[in-house]
Chain A
């Protein structure tokens, strides 16, 4: 499955315990409709998607494919604290914001999208969203697909590090990473996103041999079996050394890495390899 990438939007900021980055001005500048009564997760989704789309007019039936490893965590935290620590009902908007479809609703409203609006949760957020979007493009359900991955970093960060099971001194980030994809015929000059399934080491190595891409920057996902990851690290040693400097961490590392790489080097090729998929990006 493949598609052309017409635009990208990327937000990745380190977070510190003295307060989350203020988004109000950036949201006002980027969004067509200023958001009201929305939570941090929705703000991040709005900011990244708006930066991706810019002033472009999308098809009204453009599909929206949002994914996240942890979802709207801050709202879920407030709801759980209200119910279990404060012994009161949650505030209605906190509960509504915990529902996966809420962020997509506000993004769709901002951009005037009436097409499919999907939210996928899981540890392979980028691949899940891409696979779902590319399937709809291939089936002719949509001609454009806006694909996003959003992660929060709610305070206090010590608790968030515990949830993520990362070191106590790990630098955490919040992120919103977006790509506007379209069926291949719509813009022949745009870079291609190509997603292939692989069925394990033998099959993957054969695909990589065919690509001659051993010098291309690569993201090797933690979901890869250890033995396969070891083989791939050796194979891509040169490319791995060329990886960008360490990024602040959130739970969808592949999306953060790809968004950062494409922002710094827009024309570069890149590979993302996880347990089931090989994602190729670039010319």
Chain B
């Protein structure tokens, strides 16, 4: 049998709940819960809508990763039923936009308050601390790699893990998507004037993104076990139109979806549903809509958007959204977009407004990022 990248264990903490099960229950029958976060120490304080993991901590508390990451990883590892020796040989791949930047911000702010003459910006530079911490939690002594390709980071980590497994270079890989509140992301997206008060993908009123926190963990393995899903394949490409946005005609976005389907041995007509990137920005949704129409003529498959539930978890969204979407399919439903949509007639894209029964088959997941980085994944449900 052809080696596959089976999803053996999932773990999640996000704005919908502290566990995957809690998140699924809210996704099926609850309502999204968006809060707010402030950058109060700016000359012009920023107060923004924000999807937080509800843990009772201060939003920029640098120790949050240390208590939020372990239970997510343990949930995924326990579901995968990996032995200690298997864990030790399991590579760990991480995707994130911000990694441990909140810790660096905290240490710099502390120095500015207490020893300003010695304060040094970016005192904790580098990317490896999240992967190193994850390795200690998981008991892994194998390689770690960290992807930093903006909003496709975790999706690219998943794709690399799938190829590592397919080539037989590992039996299992733990893939993480990690994004927690930090001043850099909030201030940066505010500076770009991309923040909005609500996420409204493909909606006539869409005005931008709402940031969100998420930690996702997926154990992938070559042997199927009891897994109902596998990551069939995917593709990633570059759109050279601009560093912050895809070409509005969506040709490169259509190409990456087409390549993903080809590599997975799947026809567009066979796609059961699409989990769209669907940020709710005018530019992204326009390009993604045109790309999907070009690929799926004459009619789009059912379309799911998760950012109205989670916010935009940036570099983590590839793993966070795959974990939630796959779990929903396992539980028999394709998630709906929260009520109150007004589809933009110019886009002619209509996200599901009520859940649909999920059936076996192929599901396409899109992730697009700054730097012209686009990644599409194909999930097969047996």
Asked if A and B are interacting partners, one says: yes
Q: Which residues of A contact B (CB under 8 A)?
A: 1, 61, 64, 69-71, 73, 76-85, 87-92, 95-96, 98-102, 104-106, 108-109, 112-123, 128, 131-132, 135-136, 138-139, 141, 159, 162-163, 197, 199, 251, 275-277
Question: CB < 8 Å: which of A121, A135, A138 contacts B148?
Answer: A121
Across the interface, B188 reaches (CB within 8 A) one of A98, A104, A121, A163, namely A98
Residues of B within 8 A of A76 (CB): 101, 121-122, 125, 184
Contact of B238 with A by CB under 8 A: yes
> For chain B residues 52-73, which have a beta carbon within 8 Å of chain A?
none
- Distance between B367 CB and nearest chain A CB, rounded to angstroms: 12
The reply to whether B112 and A85 form a contact with Cβ atoms under 8 Å apart is yes
Residues of B at the A interface (CB closer than 8 Å) are 39, 41-44, 46, 89, 97, 99, 101, 104-105, 108-109, 112, 119-123, 125-128, 131, 142-150, 152-153, 156, 160, 163-164, 166-167, 169, 183-184, 187-192, 235-240, 243-244, 252, 263, 369-373
> Whole-angstrom distance between the alpha carbons of A57 and B97 in the complex?
32
In the complex, the chain A residue whose C-beta lies closest to that of B104 is A80
Are the CB atoms of A139 and B126 closer together than 8 Å? no
In Å, the complex CA distance between A115 and B252 comes to: 10
Nearest 8 A-B pairs (CB), nearest first?
A101-B371, A121-B127, A100-B148, A95-B188, A105-B371, A80-B121, A89-B191, A77-B121
Interface hub of A96, A100, A114 (most chain B Cβ within 10 A) = A100
Chain B residues lying within 8 Å of A131, measured Cβ to Cβ, are 143, 145
Residues on B with C-beta less than 8 A from A99 are 97, 148, 150, 369-371
CB neighbours of A116 from chain B (8 A): 236-238
Report the bound CA distance from A25 to B334 in whole Å.
Answer: 56
Q: Do the beta carbons of A120 and B148 come within 8 Å of each other?
A: yes
* Given A90-B191, A100-B149, 9 further pairs, Cβ under 8 A: A92-B191, A95-B192, A101-B371, A109-B240, A114-B237, A114-B239, A115-B237, A199-B89, A275-B143
Give B108 Cβ to nearest chain A Cβ, in Å: 6
Give the docked Cα–Cα distance between A190 and B5 (Å).
34
Which chain B residues lie closer than 8 Å to A108 at the CB level? 238, 240, 372
